[in-house]
Structure 1
C-alpha cells in the first residue's frame, strides 16, 4: 500500500493506493469525503451516507485529479459536486 499527501488549495488530502492484480485501487480522502476509482461502489457509499465522487479509467493520483467525475452521492451533490467536474474540483469542495 502507498500513502501519499495530495496538496489542495485549502490543505492536504490523503491518497491511498492498493496494488491489485492488474490495476491499482485508488482513493483520495479529503476532510468531508473522498474521491474513488472505478473499483469502488457509489451505491455502497450512498447507503453508508458517505460523501463520495467517482472517477473511472485512472491508474494514478494525478489521473484521478484530472479525470471527470462520473458518479456522486447525494451528500456530494449537496456540497456542489457535479458530474463532469474534475476530481480535483470535487476534492476542493470536500475540504
Structure 2
C-alpha cells in the first residue's frame, strides 16, 4: 500500500510518503527543495555519482513510521544539505525546516 499525506510543520506543508513493502517500509518526507528518508536512501550515490544534481537530502536509519522519521537524528546527509546547515545528527523535523 502507498500512503501520501500532507504534514504541517511550523506552518509549512510537506508531503509524507509511505510505501509498505514485504518486511519493510519505505518512508520519506519532502517539499520542493529536498527530502528526508529512511535507511533506503543512498547518500553516497547522491554525493558521488549524482553530485551534479545537487540533491538536498538526509537519511535516518531504524525508523518504522513517519513520526519516527520526523524525530530521528539523521545518520547521513548530502553535501547540498550540509550547505543549508543540515548536519549528521540533525533531527528530521529540524532538517525539513532548514529546507524552506
TM range (shorter): over 0.9
How many residue pairs match? The answer is: 95
1-structure distance, mates of 2:59, 2:41? 8
* 1:72 matched to 2:77: yes
Superposed, which structure 2 residues align to 1:9-88 within 5 Å? 9-46=10-47, 47=50, 48-88=53-93
Normalised to the residue count of structure 2, the TM-score between the two structures is 0.88
1-structure distance, mates of 2:83, 2:20? 32
Unaligned stretches of 5+ residues in structure 1: none
Calculate the aligned-residue CA RMSD, in Å: 1.1
Higher Cα Rg, which structure: 2
Instruction: Tell me which stretches of 4 or more aligned residues in structure 1 moved more than 6 Å.
Output: none
1-structure distance, mates of 2:4, 2:44? 25
